[in-house]
Every structure is written in structure tokens, then in C-alpha cells.
Amino acid sequence: MSKKRVVCYINQFFGQIGGEKAAEVGFSVTEGPIGPAVLVQSELGDFGDVVATIICGDNYFADKPETAIPEGIALVEK
């Protein structure tokens, strides 16, 4: 069985960008695991690898779901 490629999504706080003042930030992508994605990686073991972590501000996503959802999906597809 081949290893799965995993992408984690986290908010701006857990992505180490900032708290409420940073909740308006748009998407960014970091190669590999950061924040809680490090724990996900450790739990995956030989099953898979966290290849990227997608970060997005809570307010950005909540205020613009009609554009944020397709934007996030496009990042995962890459």
C-alpha cells in the first residue's frame, strides 16, 4: 500500500500567524506540517505524509464562503 499524501487545514492562530487581529488573512500554504499538523503527522506513521498545511483566517473564511471554499479546494488540488 502506498503512503497517502495529506493536506491539513488550520486557522491563523494555529498557523502561528496571530489571534483575532489576524483573522482576516487569506490563504497561505506551508510545505509540510506545522502547528497541530505535526501531531497529525506523528499519528499517521507509515500510512501517510503531511505534504502541506493550508492556513486561513477564521473571519476571511466565514465572511466569504462563496469564494473561500473554491479557493481552498484549488489549493488542495495543487
Q: What is the pLDDT along the chain (78 residues), one digit of tens a residue?
A: 789 999 999 999 999 999 999 999 999 999 999 999 999 999 999 999 999 999 999 999 999 999 999 999 999 888
Residue corresponding to grid cell 486557522: 11
pLDDT of residue 56: 96
pTM score: 0.88
Find out whether 72 and 9 touch, Cβ atoms under 8 Å.
yes
Do the beta carbons of residue 47 and residue 37 sit within 8 Å? no
Position 78 scores a pLDDT of 82
pLDDT confidence of residue 1? 73
